[in-house]
Structure 1
Amino acid sequence: MKTGLFLTAIAIAASTSFAQKHSGTPQESVDYKAFGAPITKAVPDQQIAAALKAVSSDRLKANIARLVDFSNRSTISSTETDLKPGTGVLAAADWIKSQFELYSRDCGGCLEVHVDEFIEEPQQAGLGGSRPRILKPTPLRNVYAILRGTDPAASKRMYLVTGHYDTRETDVMDTHSFAPGANDDSSGTAVSMESARVLSKYKFPATIVFVAVAGEEQGLNGSHHLSLLAKKEGWQLEGVLNNDIVGGDTTPGETLQNKSFVRIFSQGILPSAPIEQIRQMLTLGMDNDSPSRELAREVLDADRTYFSSKAMGKSASIAPNFAGVMELRLDRYLRGGDHKSFSDEGFPAVRFTEWRENYDHQHQHVRIENGKEYGDLLKFDDFNYIANVARLNMATLATLANSPGIPQNVRVVTSNLDNRTILKWSAPSAFSAAAHYQIVWRETASTDWQYAVNADGLKDQLKMVDSEFAATLPVSKDNVYFGIRACDAASHCSAAVAPIPERTATPARKQ
């Protein structure tokens, strides 16, 4: 059973039990069930489905094997002069760039290939006296390719997929020992590269950016620099998908690894947000409705659409036993990832990571010790699993790039004490065609969206004043969380936007 559907089933069963045991009324009398309908899968886009089927596990394996051949891709190896020719982080960057250029030639020059090269200055000792990981000025290179959107307005919106191509040994300062990084993070880099190879053959209204960053193991340096560059250049980034450790570690004898799941981590409340905003979100219980959490829900929506056995017919299903699992935390304990750099700058960002990591195959010197094999070796990667992770990334990217983008200025009126809900919003800022709107909601104890109604069908309950929509629903805002999604005519929907409270109600004229 799909994880999102499983969680929904649990929530419905729990609320049914509550209604029957405590009120003696049928569950349909609960307002959030009586109005609208259970959220349904979108109709699969056949072009996106074709793209997902074009993902090649053999190509992923070949790219990961080539990255492993660079021996040690430590970020600080860029300053070494005695490396064997064709090895090290700079040689790897050159090769990744050449692959992006090859993909671009295959699509008639559709990709703009860039190298974000900069000098990372020496670090200071961290909290608790942790040693710095960059001791002298060090060249870093982020490599990225841009597939520009075809719509003059929508092309301003950007969606980014990334992985880090640097590796590390047990000693993070070791620049010469074999540090293959087949899983951490050749797997994520290969997902970004395969996404570029396949999606560059198609056209989308909005812009997609394919990235491989350096410096992750030295302190998220590459992603930090690229996120600042995106901020400085005014990139309208509405979604960042970071893939780090998505190799589906395959260790003989391991019984708790699960190849059906990939974890989706995301930031809740930003610590850097204004304190009044933080207090408001905590008071309203909106810590799970940050833009990054909404992006994670969009990943689950793409999962339901393209990976369910019922999505395209059982015989046509791409991966019926594969599901994203939403993790309500920024990252794992004691760990960090490049999505944090983008999240810190206010961009919605998530991290994909395999279900169960094997720490004997991460950050380890390659060796056999007491009969146990250590090291991040190619033999422990599952390339079919990585292919499914790539497909889920691509389904999300393609859906978002086809969508109208997120609605703007989304609010919920809180002026009066009543059991109805008035939601207001404006159209997306960068889209040429007409947008349709879907109002979604979930019970306060649920992780994912459960119910929906199309705003177009609300008739007298939908008003418009000065290009702003206002919808009135007979659902108590106190018992659910709401969101607004913008969709095109083919059911490509944006991530939802959670409404912020508005105390002053303004009269609305009928549209």
Structure 2
Amino acid sequence: MRYFALLAALVAAPAMGQASPERLRSDVETMVGFGTRHTLSETQSETRGIGAARRWGKAQFEATSKACGGCLEVVEPERVFTGRRIPEGALIRDVVAIQRGSERPDEVVIIMGHIDSRVSDVMDAVSDAPGANDNASGSALVLEAARALSQQRYPSTIVYALLSGEEQGLYGGQLLADYAKEQGWTVKAVLNNDIVGGSCGSDGVCDNAHVRVFSEGLRADASEEDAARMRSLGGQDDSPSRNVSRWLDGLADDFVGGLDVRQVFRADRMGRGGDHLPFLALGFPAVRFTVAIEDYQHQHQDLRVENGVTYGDTIDEMDFPYLARVTDLNIRAADRLARAPMPPVVSADGLVRPDVLLEWEPVAGAALYRIWRRATDQRDWQWRMDLPADPAADLNSVVLAPDRGDDWIFGVSAVSADGAESPVSSAVPGGQFAPLAAGH
């Protein structure tokens, strides 16, 4: 459901080129051509294994950077991880391209996808594991987004990341989340793209009109005391990630012919995980994009034909026009987020009073603030009011009457001079776009 609109007087966002299905297919074909991209596979070969795939991904980022006059800094965070699926330890390396913001470079938007693949046996690092949809699709999306967005300049930083080690234990996500913390980044949003290139399931059900966005409810970085306050005061449905999901839903509705967002109010699919989860654990807002209909016969499967059924994550099962539309949504989201200010930190006081006092500290780049309200039993924001930003104010406030605080959830978003609006920051415990725990 659409829940925000830009002021008519504000300038529209710059037009973004449409993602190319042909280029996405070419990138996926190249990744499939490495045979396997298993995290524990060959690293020295130039034609096979995870090492060759990572080097190719790095070369793609470098070519994009050359085309934009050196606007991308390519780095490769790495660390040795040991775990149940890496019993002898392995060096995990991510390939990351950083497009520095011109005004607020520490504010960061991350678009990412894992490049590693697997077959039925998660420890089989030798057999062909094409990993077309899971997750060459997400990696191709990241590369295409970098090509499009690098043609613009933004106040905030955009990070494009190809992650390794996801199938062995979300290690690439952990590595990048730790890197973000070490760099002191203020993470505005993490857009994790994992299995985003198919539109039909193994049961024949198809849906090429929607993409699912998963978001957490209670925050993963909440202490027991934090969680108790969220349950008591209504913060269980207003994490930053949940508001990023709402924001994406509204953004998708703004573009005729694009995909509709199907919001899924859980951190990930039932009993499964993705590379956004380590970011949530550190208190960074993160969501997962995934196809509307998963095809379980064509992911995490050995290449085979069994009882007349073909198994394996092969390119012929993909829908590249659909992948292009998911890519376009990511491009539009990153464009808007990188231009928008940070969501402010908001508090609400409605204790034993016939009105509600909202207060928030100013944020850099805000031309106006948008006050939001919705009933406590409603999913989407229902009412709004705009207030011009006062550059001299140390603290912003507004009294809403005759609103009774018990009956409503309140929030505030920030809008830039060119009309880019941030996600809403809810005035509830855990609503702020910042880690909760000290030291995070």
Aligned to 2:404: 476
Deviations 1:328-376 (A, max 9, x none): 1001112100110111111000000001101100100011111111000
Residue 199 of structure 1, aligned match among 136, 140, 149: 149
1:424 aligns with 2:424: no
1:134 aligns with 2:86: yes
Aligned to 2:123: 173
1:442 aligns with 2:378: no
CA drift at 1:214: 0.3
Deviations 1:434-485 (A, max 9, x none): 531001122222222222111239xxxxx99961111011222222211100
User: Conserved in 1, the CA contact under 8 Å of 2:243 and 2:423?
Assistant: yes
Gaps of 5+ in 1: 6-37, 124-131, 310-318, 458-462, 502-511
Aligned to 1:143: 95
Aligned to 2:105: 155
| Greater than 4 Å deviation, 4+ residue runs | 41-47, 463-466
Alpha-carbon spacing, 1:105–1:464, altered in 2? closer, same or farther (3 Å): closer
In structure 2, C-alpha distance between the alignment counterparts of 1:219 and 1:85, rounded to whole Å: 25
Aligned to 1:34: none
CA drift at 1:85: 4.9
1:328-367 correspondence to structure 2 within 5 Å:
328-367=265-304
In structure 2, C-alpha distance between the alignment counterparts of 1:260 and 1:480, rounded to whole Å: 32
Alpha-carbon spacing, 1:45–1:184, altered in 2? closer, same or farther (3 Å): farther
In structure 2, C-alpha distance between the alignment counterparts of 1:407 and 1:435, rounded to whole Å: 13
> Aligned with 1:146: secondary structure?
strand
Q: Note the aligned Cα RMSD (angstroms).
A: 2.1
User: Conserved in 2, the CA contact under 8 Å of 1:39 and 1:451?
Assistant: no
In structure 1, C-alpha distance between the alignment counterparts of 2:227 and 2:79, rounded to whole Å: 34
In structure 2, C-alpha distance between the alignment counterparts of 1:253 and 1:423, rounded to whole Å: 50
Alpha-carbon spacing, 1:86–1:190, altered in 2? closer, same or farther (3 Å): same
Amino acid at match of 2:107: R
1:369 aligns with 2:310: no
Residue 110 of structure 1, aligned match among 52, 62, 71: 71
> Aligned with 1:440: secondary structure?
strand
User: Conserved in 2, the CA contact under 8 Å of 1:78 and 1:89?
Assistant: yes
In structure 2, C-alpha distance between the alignment counterparts of 1:486 and 1:272, rounded to whole Å: 24
User: Conserved in 2, the CA contact under 8 Å of 1:78 and 1:140?
Assistant: no
User: Conserved in 1, the CA contact under 8 Å of 2:202 and 2:297?
Assistant: no
Give aligned pairs, total: 427
Q: Which has the larger radius of gyration?
A: 1
Aligned to 1:20: none
TM-score (norm 1): 0.80
In structure 2, C-alpha distance between the alignment counterparts of 1:39 and 1:261, rounded to whole Å: 20
In structure 2, C-alpha distance between the alignment counterparts of 1:283 and 1:252, rounded to whole Å: 42
1:7-156 correspondence to structure 2 within 5 Å:
39-40=4-5, 47-48=13-14, 50-51=15-16, 53-78=17-42, 85-120=46-81, 122-123=82-83, 132-151=84-103, 154-156=104-106
In structure 2, C-alpha distance between the alignment counterparts of 1:276 and 1:249, rounded to whole Å: 42
Aligned to 2:344: 407
In structure 2, C-alpha distance between the alignment counterparts of 1:293 and 1:450, rounded to whole Å: 16
In structure 2, C-alpha distance between the alignment counterparts of 1:146 and 1:39, rounded to whole Å: 29
Aligned to 2:211: 262
Gaps of 5+ in 2: 430-440
In structure 2, C-alpha distance between the alignment counterparts of 1:72 and 1:235, rounded to whole Å: 33
Deviations 1:27-71 (A, max 9, x none): xxxxxxxxxxx75466696554x31x3311111111111110011
> Aligned with 1:94: secondary structure?
helix
Alpha-carbon spacing, 1:389–1:353, altered in 2? closer, same or farther (3 Å): same
